[in-house]
Amino acid sequence: MGSEILLISTDFDGTLVAHDSDPVLDFACMELIAQMKENGAAWAINTGRSVELLESGLLDFDFPVHPDFILTSERDVFRPASNGNGGWEAFGDWNKRVASDHAELFSSAESVLAEVVDFVTQKTGARLIYHANGIEGLIAGDEAEMDRITDFIDRAREKQPKFHYQRNTVYLRFCHTDYHKGAALAELARLINVPRENIFAAGDHYNDLSMLDGRYAAMPACPANAIPQVKAAVGAAGGYVARQSYGAGVGEALLHFTS
């Protein structure tokens, strides 16, 4: 039994979306979220996807419920656009701060980033991902290769502690150590005035750890398919590790905290 849930923060891929299952979404979980929204809770999708990739995901998987907020790229905070066209707009000045802190970081961490790029290109088969302003992250061939890459970055970043990364299966995004899903969730909670005690969060992978350690959400949870590190963090924070996987596990956790 938890406090009343006023803000729900769920990861997307591997948490609500079961890519290898049919159906991909758990209908009962979506119903439950819809019902909680009707009763006044806000629902945020907190994902590593960009706004564009999340929008296409919501369409592709035919989401029956629309999120109230989206927290994207493991750092940005968006609310529905005020022009009512169904799009999203930056919520407050957070995203600007995120962008300028990252621009500053990537210029001061240039040599560490160059070392990482050298290692990745010379010692691995991983593919580097670029965006307009430079390098964004990489995609490893498999999780073992990603383990080798993160081991290398963990050593290289000792010289530049603000330089960090978010890891999600074979995907990795470089980032400033102050920005992650937990920080984006805390900013949203501040903007809509919801205390930590009334926040539920659910995720399945490394990049979800920052919102599941109990610091920003008093009710952390994970589905049964979450990686062991996530289950351990959720357990240590007094959260709920579901018996069921994906959306069914999220629904199970929501019921656990509301009944």
Minimum CB separation of residue 181 from Mg ion in Å reads: 10
Q: Which stretch binds Mg ion (CB under 5 A): 106-114, 146-154, 197-205, 234-242?
A: 197-205
Nearest-angstrom CA–CA distance, 152 and 146: 10
Burial of 32 (0-12, 13-18, 19+ CB in 10 A): buried
* The one segment of 11-19, 146-154, 186-194, 251-259 that binds Mg ion by CB under 5 A: 11-19
Contact status: 145 vs Mg ion (CB under 5 A): no
State how far the Cα of 249 lies from the Cα of 225, in Å rounded to an integer: 9
CB-nearest residue to Mg ion:
14
Amino acid at 212: L
**H or E stretch including 220?**
strand 219-222
- Of 31-39, 85-93, 151-159, 204-212: span binding Mg ion (CB under 5 A): 204-212
Q: How far is CA 85 from CA 54, 82, 169, in A?
A: 16, 8, 34
* Stretch of 30-38, 81-89, 132-140, 198-206 lying at the interface with Mg ion (CB under 5 A): 198-206
* C-beta closer to Mg ion: residue 6 or 54: 54
The interface region with Mg ion, picked from 3-11, 24-32, 97-105, 248-256 by CB under 5 A, is 3-11
Does residue 74 belong to the site contacting Mg ion (CB under 5 A)?
A: no
Residue 116 or 245 with smaller CB distance to Mg ion: 245
Among 26, 74, 204, 213, binds Mg ion (CB under 5 A): 204
Find tokens 């994902």 and name the residue.
47
Contact residue for Mg ion among 157, 176, 205, 231 (CB under 5 A): 205
Contacts (CB under 5 A) with Mg ion, residues 99-128? none
| Total Cβ atoms within 10 A of residue 69 | 22
Least Å distance, CB 2 to Mg ion, is 22
CA distances from 215 to 8, 74, 195, 212 (A): 15, 16, 11, 8
C-alpha span between 56 and 75 (Å, rounded)? 19
User: How many whole angstroms separate alpha carbon 247 and alpha carbon 237?
Assistant: 21
Based on the shown chain and the rule CB under 5 A, indicate whether residue 11 belongs to the binding site for Mg ion.
Answer: yes
- According to CB under 5 A, which one of 5, 8, 10, 13 is a site residue for Mg ion? 13
Does residue 14 touch Mg ion according to CB under 5 A? Answer: yes
Q: How many CA atoms lie within 13 A of 212 on its CB side?
A: 28
Instruction: Count CB neighbours of 112 within 10 A.
Output: 18
For Mg ion, the closer of residues 163 and 171 by Cβ is: 171
Query: Where along the sequence are the contacts to Mg ion (CB under 5 A)?
Result: 11, 13-14, 204-205
